[in-house]
Amino acid sequence: MNTADLGLPVEVPSTALFTDQYELTMLQAALKAGTAERRSVFEVFTRRLPDGRRYGVVAGTGRVLDAVENFRFDEPVLAFLREHGIVDEETAKWLAGYRFGGDIWGYPEGEVYFPGSPIMRVEGSFAECVLLETVILSILNHDSAIAAAASRMASAAGDRPLIEMGARRTHELAAVAAARAAYVGGFATTSDLAAGFRYGIPTVGTSAHAFTLLHDRERDAFRAQVDALGRGTTLLVDTYDVAEAVAAAVEVAGPGLGAVRIDSGDLLLVAHRVRQQLDELGARDTKIVVTSDLDEYAIASLAAAPVDAYGVGTQLVTGSGHPTAAMVYKLVARAETADPEAPLVPVAKKSSGGKTSIGGRKWAARRLDADGVAEAEVVGTGAVPAGLAERQLQVELVKAGEVVAREPLDVPRERHIAARANLPLSATQLSRGEPVLPTEYAHGPSGS
């Protein structure tokens, strides 16, 4: 769900300065050289997945659309640019009227991707497209990294729900974006109220150790919480002695206690002991929630434990060791003149060190085997082969400057579940390995 769906008065500020200075210096030089209006095609892709990962997850697309729509140079911003000599007067005047008027295509949010996948394609004049590089990459790199970690954790968790609770472990604004990306990747709820307010993600939360320590006795803390929140609340039982806390929790709330939370110790052992104790006390329906620096490996290790839900913080918001998706934004085709009808010429960087790229405007399709399971990511230029025409991955996101693909957040969340299910079974293995699909290149007669 997005802000428009909720009718919330959330104001998105200008994103014009979420950029690197060299975007503006390139613009100034191109304006002076007369090349700024050449029709151009930029693509977002990654040359490799993080070490050991089997697939990537596209996340942040909805935030990119907001950022492009709000990329405006108002008077205070222009005054800053003039005062610091970042652009000349001609460029400042051009920026004053900036509105992205081109087209953007891309993999829909929640889709999976692989090395070389043209995740997003931005088309328009060089001037209007080059300015968007940094803000697009900052959003997609962050959100896709979080969503990929979330997806791995969701796979490990199976049917057990995941709670996002990493706001205190990252920048306050990154926390909101991380909660959104985690929801796309498969998390069920968040503790971050700003994410709930901005994106309509279900929020949860009960108490921390401080609440127990505030009271003279643990039992008093439990009583206060149950009186305020009802018997369905979740009581934190590892502040002192877990067994004593579980006994007190059931005595205070009765067998209808909603859940207990365990935040320390040997979670596998403690969960088994707590489950046995709850059952013996008649609280057979009381759930067990575990937290404490979980990642996908820890979650997988608890698969056989009597755990009902997981709360994940630090490892999620840091991408479980991979905080970026290593995406780049490269010019792949451009016209030789400013004539709108001039044909596009493929261009590409040639260098050593693995930083080469392939020129030409790309299409992408996913080929399926006889059983309907994905077997290859096919990326090409020119005409799309007939057998892949119905399997193309890119969708239109912005047309002539107008956003055409906004969708409630539940849509990319469900899309990701379907996309992941369509991959070979080895995609969900946590052991290190190569991308689960190979990327094949099909070059047509034209890069335009």
CATH number where 287 lies:
3.20.20.70
Question: Which mean pLDDT values do the consecutive 10-residue runs of the chain (448 residues) have?
Answer: 43 82 98 97 96 96 96 95 97 98 98 98 98 98 98 98 97 96 98 96 97 98 98 98 98 98 97 98 98 96 98 97 97 95 92 78 96 96 93 98 97 98 95 93 61
pLDDT at 444: 57
Render the burial of 226-235: b for 16+ CB within 10 Å, e for the rest: beeeeeebbb
109 and 166 both lie in a single domain? no
236 and 331 both lie in a single domain? no
126 close to 40: Cβ distance less than 8 angstroms:
yes
29 contacts: CB under 8 Å, gap ≥ 6: none
Residue 136 within any structural domain of the chain = no
Residue 142 within any structural domain of the chain = no
Rounded to an integer, what distance in angstroms lies between the CA atom of residue 164 and that of residue 184?
Answer: 12
184 and 224 both lie in a single domain? yes
- Rounded to the nearest 5°, which phi and psi values hold at 311? -110, 125
340 and 435 both lie in a single domain? yes
298 and 162 both lie in a single domain? yes
420 close to 112: Cβ distance less than 8 angstroms:
yes
Domain range for 237:
156-318
Q: How many domains does the chain have?
A: 2
**Which tokens is 208 given?**
């921390």
Rounded to an integer, what distance in angstroms lies between the CA atom of residue 261 and that of residue 208?
Answer: 10
Cβ-in-10-Å burial (0-12, 13-18, 19+) of 357 comes to middle
**Which tokens is 353 given?**
């060190």
Residue 402 within any structural domain of the chain = yes
311 and 333 both lie in a single domain? no
313 and 345 both lie in a single domain? no
303 and 263 both lie in a single domain? yes
Residue 140 within any structural domain of the chain = no
Residue 287 within any structural domain of the chain = yes
235 and 360 both lie in a single domain? no
Q: Which of 318, 344, 378 is the last residue of a domain?
A: 318
179 and 309 both lie in a single domain? yes
Q: Which of 274, 300, 318 is the last residue of a domain?
A: 318
Cβ-in-10-Å burial (0-12, 13-18, 19+) of 84 comes to exposed
Handedness of CA 49, 55, 60, 64 (dihedral sign): positive
Rounded to an integer, what distance in angstroms lies between the CA atom of residue 177 and that of residue 179?
Answer: 5
Q: Which of 318, 341, 371 is the last residue of a domain?
A: 318
117 and 261 both lie in a single domain? no
Residue 182 within any structural domain of the chain = yes
211 and 265 both lie in a single domain? yes
CATH number at residue 124: 3.20.140.10
Residue 12 within any structural domain of the chain = yes
Residue 61 within any structural domain of the chain = yes
